[in-house]
Amino acid sequence: MDELPAGERPLILVSGGASSLVEAPAQGVSLDDLVRLNIAGLASGRDITALNVERTRLSRIKGGRLAGRLLGQRALALFISDVPGDDPDVIGSGLMGTLAGRADDIERIVVASVGAAVAAAADAAKRAGLEAVAAADRFDGEASRLAVRFVHELHMSPVPVRIWGGESTVTLPAHAGRGGRNQHLALAAARLIAGRDDLMLMAVGTDGTDGPTTDAGAIVDGETCARLALADIDVEQALIDADSGAALAAAGDLLDTGPTDTNVGDLVIGLRRAR
Does 78 fall in a domain?
Answer: yes
* 201 and 119 within one domain: yes
Residue ranges making up the domain that contains 26: 11-112
The residue out of 97, 112, 127 marking a domain boundary is: 112
Does 5 fall in a domain?
Answer: no
pLDDT tens, position by position, 173-198: 989 999 999 999 999 999 999 999 99
Does 3 fall in a domain?
Answer: no
* 231 and 138 within one domain: yes
Q: In b/e form, how buried is each residue of 44-73, taking b as 16+ CB within 10 angstroms?
A: eebebeebbeebbebbebbbbbbbbebeeb
For residue 82, give the CATH number of its domain. Answer: 3.40.50.10180
* 157 and 30 within one domain: no
Does 160 fall in a domain?
Answer: yes
Q: What was the pLDDT predicted at 40?
A: 77
252 versus 36: the higher-pLDDT residue is 252
- pTM for the whole thing? 0.85
Q: How confident is the model at residue 2 (pLDDT cuts 50, 70, 90)?
A: low
Number of structural domains, the chain?
2
Q: What was the pLDDT predicted at 26?
A: 87
Does 168 fall in a domain?
Answer: yes
Q: What was the pLDDT predicted at 52?
A: 75
Does 4 fall in a domain?
Answer: no
The residue out of 112, 135, 155 marking a domain boundary is: 112
Q: What was the pLDDT predicted at 106?
A: 94
Helix (H, G, I), strand (E, B) or coil at 176: coil
Q: What was the pLDDT predicted at 42?
A: 67
Task: Mean pLDDT check: name the lowest of 112-121, 240-249, 266-275.
Answer: 266-275
- What's the mean pLDDT in 77-92? 91
- What's the mean pLDDT in 57-68? 89
Task: Mean pLDDT check: name the lowest of 100-104, 174-178, 270-274.
Answer: 100-104
* 235 and 221 within one domain: yes
